[in-house]
Chains A and B, each alone.
Chain A
Amino acid sequence: MTIDTNCHLGHWPFRKLAHADAGGLLSLMDRHGVDQAWVGAFEGLLYRDCGQANRDLLARIAGHEDRLVPWATINPSFPAWEDDLREALEAGMAGVRLYPNYHGYGLADACAQEFFVALSGRDARSTPSRDARSTPPPVAIYHKFVDERLHHWTCLVPPVDMDLAPLVNDFPQQRFLLCGCGMPHAQALAETIRRGHVYMEISRLEGVEGVRLLIDTTGLEHVVLGSHAPYFYVEAAHLKLMESGLSNAERAHILQENPARLLDRA
């Protein structure tokens, strides 16, 4: 079982991307032996109405839910985000993706705190379908979606300050997936990652034998495969595993066991 934790579908407004529909992504997955991809909506980054982006994503993956696992986009700085969250959870979306830099807030802002309170079940207004859950849905936080040096001139978006420690402290049951981070974040957040339910995907990890260094920094149980496909060439993430000379046991953790635990399906 191989799980890619970081993919998107839909329309990226600044470039026509190949493989951005369900059939295209599935073909990439087949090429690399990927059984399951966690997908979000490109539209979620720039739409005001994240609920619409989520509904469009669900329509795109219809019939392929066994392999394409939808994650909702929520913008907690936008009015009535609780409605979007409730709708997404009731639709069975597996987790929530946050893009703080595209949505104009920081992780330390009150709206982010309110979001995690709601997700934790402490505020039942947003999560009526969550009563039976033992743990909140996982949340992916995107540090960087595009290298800021390569942003379109109308859309210069700074990277997110990954101030994660307070969230891990305040919401110890919350599972986090860090997306678009590199080794500097792993090193800066290593203690927080190790003591929390925190995982890091490798799409933006650079440097020779970067996955090996990441494992040494955060611990193997916190590393998952993420390709950032179809925005990135999907091969990059898979070749990074090869570059680091991982054992079969290490690969099994990164490709299957850790993602399953992140989804609370281990």
Chain B
Amino acid sequence: MDRLGIDQACICLGDRLVVQPDADELQRQNEWAASTVALAPDRLIGFVYASPNHPRLSQELIRAYRARGFRGIKLWVCQLADHAGNDPICELAAELGLPVLQHTWFKATGNMSTESEPKHLVALARRHPAVNFIMAHAGGDWERGLRLVKDQPNIIPDTCGNDPEAGFTELAVKLLGARRLLFGSDATGRSLASQVAKVTGADISEADKRLILGENLLGLMPS
């Protein structure tokens, strides 16, 4: 982070990827995140890993970790984003003013059965207009994903988790505006460098880069 001028990073999930975490795993992974944030609380921001398979437990975890300074909620791939189990989670997100970060991909090779496409997030976002949803990976197939969400103002794509294909950031700014895009890296799976290059290397204004690289996110999260 220091070498690339990255001041802060949001972290979520745990030290291993578990597609269908049970209650114990959810608690363990959130505690791992908390212990990691504690190593550098001025640099790392925790997001609570929640699961629509465990909505009541997820609500408890969100309240508990919010009290410990976490500033967002992470939903991954255990169910599609429009699953009813996400409604209690999103209702609490609205109450606490927390953004919800949802994994999305549209894979030409086929998604996992519980892996959300952007359309599933659009359905969830329509049900919860008071919640800001961060669309992780911009749907992977970003030309498709950006078009799908452009008319859903409470969905804010991020830049992370796919190749640094040129034109991505310029198209996002053109379709959504620079205030509806967030820098994300997907580190440590991805290179911080390959992902930040999507913003620093884009043919957009320096003011727009500052929005995408941090100012937008700071406006989405509670302190």
Contacts and interface: CB of A to CB of B under 8 A. Distances in A.
Chain B interface size, as a band, is 20 to 34
A152 B108 CA distance: 7
Interface in A157-174: none
Contacts of B200: 235, 239
Interface in B149-206: 162-167, 187-194, 196-198, 200-203
Which 4 residue pairs of A and B lie closest in terms of their CB atoms, listed nearest first? A235-B201, A239-B193, A235-B197, A233-B201
A16 B107 CA distance: 21
A233 B191 contact: no
A232 B108 contact: no
A220 B140 CA distance: 33
Contacts of A243: 3-4, 191-193
B185 to A, nearest CB: 9
Interface string A129-171: 0000000000000000011111111001000000000000000
B5 to A, nearest CB: 10
A65 B188 CA distance: 39
Given A208-B187, A236-B164, A243-B193, A150 B3 contact: no
Contacts of A17: 166-167
B108 A151 contact: yes
B108 A207 contact: no
A243 B194 CA distance: 10
Contact of B164 (A149, A153, A208, A233): A233
Nearest to A209: B191
Interface of A: 15-19, 146-153, 156, 204-208, 210, 229-236, 238-240, 242-243, 245
Contact of A242 (B3, B108, B141, B203): B3
B109 interface: yes
Interface string B98-139: 000000010111000000000000000000000000000000
Contacts of A236: 164, 191, 193-194, 197-198, 201
A231 B143 CA distance: 14
Given A235-B201, A236-B201, A206 B166 contact: no
A149 B109 contact: yes
A242 B143 CA distance: 29
A208 B191 contact: yes
Given A148-B109, A242-B4, A207 B163 contact: no
A239 B194 contact: yes
A155 B30 CA distance: 41
Contact of B192 (A156, A205, A208, A233): A208
Contacts of B196: 239
A208 B140 CA distance: 20
B197 A147 contact: no
A251 to B, nearest CB: 13
A232 B202 CA distance: 11
A19 to B, nearest CB: 8
A153 B4 CA distance: 36
Contacts of B165: 150, 231-233
A98 B190 CA distance: 27
Contact of B193 (A148, A149, A153, A240): A240
B168 to A, nearest CB: 8
A245 B193 contact: no
Nearest to A19: B166
Given A18-B166, A149-B108, A206 B194 contact: yes
A231 B202 CA distance: 13
B200 to A, nearest CB: 6
B108 A15 contact: no
A233 B193 contact: no
Contacts of A238: 197
B201 A15 contact: no
B4 A234 contact: no
